[in-house]
Amino acid sequence: MGVKENIEKVKLNLINAAKKSGREPSEINIIAVTKYVDIELIKLVNECGIGSFGESKVQDFCKKYEQLGKGYNWHFIGRLQKNKVKYIIDKVDLIHSVDTIELLEELEKRATLLGKNVNVLIQVNISGEDTKQGLEENMLEEFLKEVALFNRIRVLGLMTIAPFVENPEHIRSIFRELKNTFEQIKKLNLKNVDMKYLSMGMSNDYEIAIEEGANLIRVGRILFK
Ligand SMILES: *Cc1c(COP(=O)(O)O)cnc(C)c1O
């Protein structure tokens, strides 16, 4: 496994995909999804110049966090149960997977106890697959208007997980649709909502996601193969 080489390759592909669509490569950030690996590899990735890490299971994340200490930038990207919020809220920089008001209420409650704000992305289910989590796109605007009622929640953008499809052009249309929605919401200037991050693209499809406007990509397998 050549983690270093894999990272270099992803960076190169990122630059090419950005240029292809007339974007500045430096505005796109790589999140290394480390759910498959232990802390030795996380340290190695960090030494290769990637400082942001994504984990999707609360228990695994907390264990790694404890072992690594501070100084890493953590993104929580998996399904988050309300009763687990308290374990991660003071450890993560951004939670990508918020899709219910109940979860926002719990985040608000815990953030208030800590006296700090919590940064989140809203996960959107573009493909309409009912196995996937995420808010239906047509519910998004109404949902985001409710965010104004909270004091400690800061919505910093949107996230989606594309389905696995044979034809990558289908994925492209999903990414394009979310980017359009992202831009439309930006114009609404909603309270507590700042459309800064568009989190889309994984090992299979990050180049297409970048071409369509992603500025946070979440790649795992491709780094550790
Ligand atoms: C695992 C995971 C990823 C990374 O997927 P790869 O195919 O390994 O790149 C990205 N996002 C989420 C939400 C994940 O759970």
Give the model confidence (pLDDT) of 45-83 as tens digits: 999 999 999 999 999 999 999 999 888 999 999 999 999
Residue 220 CB neighbours (<10 A) = 19
Radius of gyration of the chain (CA): 17
C-alpha 27 – ligand 1 centre gap (Å) = 21
At 170 the pLDDT is 84
Q: Which whole number is the average pLDDT over 74-98?
A: 98
Query: Which of 133, 222, 140 minimizes the C-alpha distance to 181?
Result: 140
At 131 the pLDDT is 61
Mean pLDDT of the chain: 95
Give the dihedral sign, CA 204/206/209/211. Answer: negative
- % of residues, the chain, pLDDT over 70: 97
Q: Is the CB of 57 under 6 A from ligand 1?
A: no
Q: Is the CB of 56 under 6 A from ligand 1?
A: yes
- CA 113 vs. chain centroid, Å, equals 25
pTM as predicted: 0.96
C-alpha 222 – ligand 1 centre gap (Å) = 10
> pLDDT tens across 103-121, in order?
999 999 999 999 999 999 9
> pLDDT tens across 167-192, in order?
777 899 999 999 999 999 999 999 99
Closest atom of ligand 1 to 218 CA is 10
pLDDT over threshold 90, residue 166: no
How far from 176 is each of 10, 113, 126, 136, 169, CA to CA, in Å? 21, 39, 10, 16, 10
Q: Is 107 exposed, middle or buried (0-12, 13-18, 19+ CB in 10 A)?
A: buried
Q: Is the CB of 221 under 6 A from ligand 1?
A: yes
d(CA 18, CA 12): 10
C-alpha 67 – ligand 1 centre gap (Å) = 22
C-alpha 33 – ligand 1 centre gap (Å) = 6
Q: Which whole number is the average pLDDT over 13-24?
A: 98
